[in-house]
């Protein structure tokens, strides 16, 4: 008699832009049981794939499979991008667990509808939906009035106040108070640092009674433009001294869900001035910037979410890449010029 194949434990790791989802997944992967196949599906708003690059660069043993879906939301187009990516992962990896990281501005209900649909009903075992949130945002009307942000919280079984080392006592107190009024209590609340939490939380069952308040909040108007700026290799002393003429880079523009994004990928031979990049990241005109830059001190990851900025060494060595995401359209030519000025 043929043995029934066990359904694959599947978790959504959600959270708004800058909440620390990728860092949390990296910490979870360190807790992966030996000889256990896990698969990670990463969806990014932009096209340059910074989160997926970070995951793929980790020194993790065999049994880990990463699939990236950049440039929009996996739940759009009737869920086809999600289904295609999932099918490829399942076929290639035969995983025991799948972690799905939707884009920070994507609506989790749309993803969940696909995962719980007829096609995957006997294939996937939906476990805890885990949402990371920066505690101070629960005091901010800008986020409390954002339907996607609120529904990420509504549908989550586990909510983690990430970056708690940067939060005030009042912020953390408000975090716990915020969820006490929920009609269906959260299975687990905790404040954490650097997205670090016990992987046992992944095995909590998803409560299908949890609902969203804004099921039609998700609006996507796809627009992606790839602008390749290829070097003109003319042998003049003036051009040879100009780094913009020596190497190549690519630019990608994207917008949807009320956000505008632009990303760049630079040849690995380009060296950025670390101090100049810090100034660029800290510019008042930006609220969300994430980038990996090749500097004289090696590759560095910069991450900015509002006024919170972090910097750390990075294992990625293939190229430099950066993504800017804003609620207002920026003059990307001007932003690019500022970025190019950071090249050594």
Region at 306 (left for phi over 0; alpha for psi -120 to 50; beta for the rest):
left
Give the residue among 159, 69, 171, 181 at the shortest CA–CA distance from 114: 69
Q: What is the pLDDT of residue 242?
A: 45
Structural domains of the chain ordered from first start = 8-201 (3.40.50.300), 224-340 (3.30.1220)
Q: Which residue has the tokens 């060595």?
A: 317
Give the residue among 197, 135, 143, 133 at the shortest CA–CA distance from 166: 135
Contact 111, 12 (CB under 8 A): yes
pLDDT below 50 — which residues of the chain? 1-2, 220-245
Strand 64-69 relative to strand 8-15, pairing: unpaired
Measured between alpha carbons, how far is 65 from 25 in angstroms, rounded to an integer? 13
Task: Count the neighbouring beta carbons within 10 Å of the beta carbon of residue 204.
Answer: 16
Q: What is the pLDDT of residue 63?
A: 85
pTM: 0.84
Q: What is the pLDDT of residue 82?
A: 87
Task: Count the neighbouring beta carbons within 10 Å of the beta carbon of residue 37.
Answer: 17
- Per-position DSSP letters for 68-86, written without gaps between them: EE-SS-TTTGGGHHHHHHH
Strand 97-101 relative to strand 124-126, pairing: unpaired
pLDDT in tens, 49-95: 888 887 876 655 578 899 888 776 776 655 688 899 999 999 999 99
Contact 192, 164 (CB under 8 A): yes
H/E stretch holding 23 reads helix 21-29
Q: Hey, is 144 helix, strand or coil?
A: helix
Give the residue among 123, 274, 148, 158 at the shortest CA–CA distance from 215: 148
């Amino acid at each position: 008699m043929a043995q029934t194949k066990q359904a694959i434990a599947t978790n959504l790791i959600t959270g708004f832009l800058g909440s620390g989802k990728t860092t949390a997944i990296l910490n979870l992967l360190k807790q992966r049981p030996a000889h256990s196949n896990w698969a990670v599906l990463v969806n990014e708003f932009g096209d340059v794939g910074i989160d997926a690059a970070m995951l793929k660069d980790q020194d993790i043993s065999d049994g880990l499979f990463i699939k990236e879906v950049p440039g929009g939301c996996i739940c759009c187009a009737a869920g086809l991008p999600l289904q295609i990516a999932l099918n490829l992962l399942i076929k290639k990896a035969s995983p025991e667990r799948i972690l799905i990281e939707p884009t920070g501005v994507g609506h989790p209900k749309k993803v969940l509808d696909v995962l719980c649909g007829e096609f995957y009903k006997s294939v996937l075992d939906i476990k805890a939906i885990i949402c990371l949130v920066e505690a101070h945002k629960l005091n901010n009307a800008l986020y409390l009035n954002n339907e996607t942000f609120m529904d990420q919280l509504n549908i989550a079984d586990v909510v983690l106040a990430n970056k708690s080392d940067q939060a005030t006592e009042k912020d953390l107190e408000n975090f716990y108070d915020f969820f006490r009024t929920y009609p269906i209590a959260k299975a687990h609340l905790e404040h954490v640092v650097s997205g670090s939490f016990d992987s046992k939380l992944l095995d909590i069952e998803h409560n299908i009674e949890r609902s969203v308040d804004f099921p039609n909040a998700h609006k996507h108007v796809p627009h992606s433009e790839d602008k390749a700026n290829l070097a003109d290799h003319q042998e003049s002393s003036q051009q040879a001294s100009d780094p913009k003429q020596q190497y190549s880079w690519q630019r990608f523009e994207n917008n949807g869900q009320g956000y505008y994004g632009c990303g760049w990928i630079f040849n690995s031979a380009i060296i950025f001035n670390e101090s100049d990049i810090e100034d660029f990241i800290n510019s008042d005109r930006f609220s969300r910037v994430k980038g990996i830059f090749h500097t004289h001190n090696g590759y560095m990851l910069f991450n900015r979410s509002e006024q919170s900025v972090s910097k750390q060494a990075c294992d990625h060595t293939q190229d430099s890449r950066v993504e800017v995401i804003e609620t207002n359209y920026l003059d990307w030519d001007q932003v690019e010029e500022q970025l190019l000025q950071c090249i050594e």
